[in-house]
Amino acid sequence: MRAEARERAAALGPLLPVEPGGRGPDGSPQLGTGQVFATKTGETFHRAWCETVGQVWDQRPKSLFLITEGSVGSRRPCKQCTVV
């Protein structure tokens, strides 16, 4: 099943991590201009620090990435995030 997950993730488009705009007191990445949160195999991206992002940070901080909005590929915006 892991191979399938990898294939699905690959179909979303390459994950191109960028340096965060800043870091919070706990080391949590903060969005810079034009950046969104993404996870390694997630099919969604996040425009804000939403519940999902918080959960990933708590449980699997190494799988939380920042990418530019232009490189989201076919990832969809998360429904919890406020769409501005």
Q: Which residues bind Zn ion (CB under 5 A)?
A: 46, 50, 52, 78, 80-81
Token pair 């990933």 is found at 56
Neighbours of 9 (CB within 10 A): 18
Residue number with CB closer to Zn ion (33 or 82): 82
What backbone phi and psi angles, to 5 degrees, belong to 17? Answer: -65, 145
- Considering the complex, what minimum distance in angstroms separates the CB of residue 56 from Zn ion? 10
Do 83 and 47 form a contact (C-beta atoms < 8 A)? yes
Query: How many C-alpha atoms does 9 have within 13 Å on its Cβ side?
Result: 15
- Considering the complex, what minimum distance in angstroms separates the CB of residue 5 from Zn ion? 20
- Considering the complex, what minimum distance in angstroms separates the CB of residue 81 from Zn ion? 4
Residue number with CB closer to Zn ion (9 or 36): 36
Give me the residue whose beta carbon is nearest to Zn ion: 78
